[in-house]
A and B are shown apart, each in its own frame.
Chain A
Amino acid sequence: MLVIALAGAAALLALAAIAAISAGATAAPRIVYGTSLVIATVSLVEAATQLLGWAAPQTLTLPFGVPWLGAHFHLDALSAFFLVVVDLGAASTSLFALGYGRHEQAPQRVLPFYAAFLAGMTLVLLADDAFTFVLSWEFMSLTSWALVTAHHRVPENVRAGYVYLVMASFGTLALLLAFGVLAGPDGHYVFSQMRATHPAAALGALALVLALIGAGSKAGIVPLHAWLPLAHPAAPSQVSALMSGVMTKVAIYGFVRIVLDLAGAPAWWWSIPVLTLGGITAVLGVLYALMQHDLKRLLAYHTVENIGIIFIGLGLALAFKAYGMPAAAALALTAALLHVFNHSLFKSLLFFGTGAVLTATGERDMEHLGGLIRRMPQTAFVFLVGCAAISALPPLNGFVSEWLTFQAILLSPHLPSWGLKLLVPAVGALLALAAALAAACFVKAYGITFLGRPRTSAAAAAAETDGFSLAAMFLLAALCLIAGILPGLFIDALAPVSWVLIGARMPVQIGVPWLSIVPIAQSRSSYDGLLVFLFMIISGGLAASAIHRFASDRLRRAPAWDCGYSDASPATQYTAMSFAQPIRRVFGSFVFRARERGEMPPPGDMRAARLSVELHDPVWETLYAPLAAFVGFGAERLNRLQFLTIRQFLSLVFAALVALLLVLALWS
């Protein structure tokens, strides 16, 4: 199994090389995406068999990399689960791109990096020593950076690429240090050796903080999320789906691997930063999203929100594990991992939908769209499924994982520490707020884009997208529904992972009557997605047929009363900005210092009245701008070094050498 996964990664690398040579050919997109689809499907089947069959972990050492270390690879339940997520995302994205990729202007800048990016993500999951891990991680970052700057003529994309590159190197540095801390003075860089050396709690906490910075910056934890809403939308849509839906999950894998697996037994206070940051990330992510009217950027901010939800689950798992409550820890971990899986499904789906809209209209700005449900009915339907899933509405999959997270939060009174007893409900309140705001946000995203009347001629002339793209979207929508109505299957599939990390698993769900799920005990809580689904289908069908039966034949056609206005222009509809206004007034005024300014021309002036909104990004202004100013100041000072004489350069080298020798001489 491991060999096949590795061979898949190698094949993807070879494919990248082929793509680099033959990207000019007209058949190149078909070949690259088609081959990626096949490779990802094979790897997906293998990983799923490994996970579902409770197969024993496999390891493999290849003789390259650092000479005395070699390259270690492994496939255990955790890797297998994330491999399923990555391969499912890769397969559906390749399927989507078979159709969507035809519209690509510069395929030679996308195709080679696409295949290499997939290979990089796979290798991160398979790595079994710190060197291979960091190398693959950096490879993944660099290839995705190349994809972000694929359309490099757009100045925004160049800036996004720059910010991404800076943040990615910073994150990798933190990861490097985390592994350094865990490797200890003897330099145990192989994961199995790291696991065997139990670091002190303080060192473990240091590794936790570094992992939170390193993996968190890749996943998009506030305040390290700054690059994410710039970079994800800048890439071509299929890559946006991969970055948002899959790469953030690889980052979460890195965090889980380091903190729950390698860092040894957790202390209870490790969970505090994870929970706090998770709660803040969830709420701030969705608030940012509400302020956006660029569809792709809105989705990218929602990724930030969902990462927050996942981190809340992980923080709870840490707390429960530290207090020796394995059943509760298994529940929290399963909830987080299930949300990882679910989010990869519906976020890919939504980005595909956005890509379809982008191809059909050439627009990402919601204010220029509208009425697409008539022009693109199938895309509109699957996009609606995705919106309902990400808004955590039953019977879809988003509800299940968020409900499980709440179940874990409701167990917090059993925690012995008062700090956590107070913190966890507060985080739960933040989570509830984020969930509600997310629903509002997707009402906005769907309503403004697909309902109403077209706001521009481009939106009015849109046509339904191609068959491959629709197939990929329907596949993901179907998976969203299946995971929503049969969650027990997926919870049971996650049991090996929590068995590896926690040493416990959630109760077996498959035998529960009526296919409902029971996270703790029947007396406490249960949820049955299938019943909810059937109830909705039956009641909805009854209502529809009743209306049709009793109301349709009472239909009378008459001129509508138009309130005295003749044919209102599309501009009189709700806009994205006006829809978000109540929330902007409640939350935005103190989070974003939002100021609205209405500009009313004086009587007699024929200009249109204007409403403009001024927003301040709190994270950017309080954290990044001062930091950038400081770095700029330092660089300005250091610039003088460039104008030294040759002798002074030599003296610098000499002084450095002597100083190092002095340190060596005075050391201990």
Chain B
Amino acid sequence: MSRIDFDIAHLLAGSLVLISFLELYQDRLYALLNVYALHALTLAASVAWQAFIQDAPHLYVTAAIALFFKAIVIPVALHRIIVRLGIHRQIDKVVGVGSAMLAGIGLVALSMVVTLRATYGVESLARQDLAFALSVVLLGLLMMVTRRNAVGQVVGFMSLENGLVLAATGARGMPLVVEISVAFSILIAFIVIGIFLFRIRERFDSVDLQALDQFRGER
């Protein structure tokens, strides 16, 4: 593999991690959605680049799926949901920006240490890719934990899944079936969560998860 191939793959994967940090930083839901669209776009680019350098045409399909569903359909749909729910002004954060960023940096360091140690002797592209992918997954989880609003959690979940796709495409020989099934499962999850959002809203006049907790008789 030539030097430039590797560098571009590295750059795209690295920007995915960077965009994850951007997501973590956003207060407002619209801004969060925009950053998420960027996240998915970068993923599509990264997958397409992998398809190019690995000579694996089926990965183009994956890239197309990522581009169409994740970068366009889902952000638009979420956008409309926010409009219809009228929650675009809400700020939904449990943890402050500073501490969330610090935790995120720690997670990235952790995933680097773990992956680089666990994959000793594997070709360097796969190693780096795996480390980045694990970081994206962990940051997605962190976002799910630090958001109070259900929409924020959906976005966290979606970017977590982006990390999974990144890992899957970085490794050589992952069958297309797996990628397609992952992509569709994410779509179905999105639909289910969307329906749930409206249900929750109908019941409780809010998508704030605290309302659910109050309903359950929380302390």
Contacts and interface: CB of A to CB of B under 8 A. Distances in A.
A646 B141 contact: no
Interface of B: 94, 107, 110-111, 113-114, 117-118, 138, 141-142, 144-145, 147-148, 153, 209-210, 212-213, 216, 218-219
B106 to A, nearest CB: 9
A665 interface: yes
A645 B141 CA distance: 16
Contact of B118 (A657, A662, A664): A664
Contacts, number: 42
Contacts of B218: 643, 645
Contact of A658 (B110, B113, B117): B110
Nearest to B141: A654
B113 A645 contact: no
A660 to B, nearest CB: 10
B141 A661 contact: no
Nearest to B118: A664
Contact of B110 (A647, A650, A651, A662): A662
Nearest to A643: B218
A646 B214 CA distance: 12
Interface in A129-158: none
A665 B117 contact: yes
Contact of A650 (B117, B144, B210, B212): B144
Residue among B113, B145, B210, B218 having the largest count of chain A Cβ atoms under 10 Å: B145
Given A643-B216, A645-B213, A646-B209, A657 B141 contact: yes
Nearest to B134: A661
A100 B33 CA distance: 74
A654 B118 contact: no
A650 B145 contact: yes
A647 B209 contact: yes
Contact of A654 (B145, B153, B213): B145
Nearest to A652: B145
Contact of B113 (A650, A657, A665): A665
Nearest to B156: A650
A653 B113 CA distance: 21
B113 to A, nearest CB: 4
Contacts of A661: 110-111, 114
Contacts of B145: 647, 650-651, 654
Interface in A97-117: none
A324 B107 CA distance: 59
A643 B113 CA distance: 35
Given A650-B145, A664-B118, A665-B117, A643 B219 contact: yes
A662 B117 CA distance: 12
B112 to A, nearest CB: 9
A169 B139 CA distance: 39
B118 A647 contact: no
Contacts of B144: 650, 654
A664 B110 CA distance: 10
Contacts of B213: 645-646
B192 to A, nearest CB: 15
B219 A654 contact: no
Given A647-B94, A654-B142, A657-B138, 8 more contacts: A646-B212, A647-B145, A647-B209, A650-B144, A654-B144, A658-B138, A662-B110, A664-B114
A185 to B, nearest CB: 18
Residue among A643, A646, A657, A662 having the largest count of chain B Cβ atoms under 10 Å: A646
26 contacts: A643-B216, A643-B218, A643-B219, A645-B209, A645-B213, A645-B218, A646-B209, A646-B213, A647-B94, A650-B144, A651-B145, A653-B141, A654-B141, A654-B142, A654-B144, A654-B145, A657-B141, A658-B107, A658-B138, A661-B110, A661-B111, A661-B114, A662-B110, A664-B114, A665-B114, A665-B117
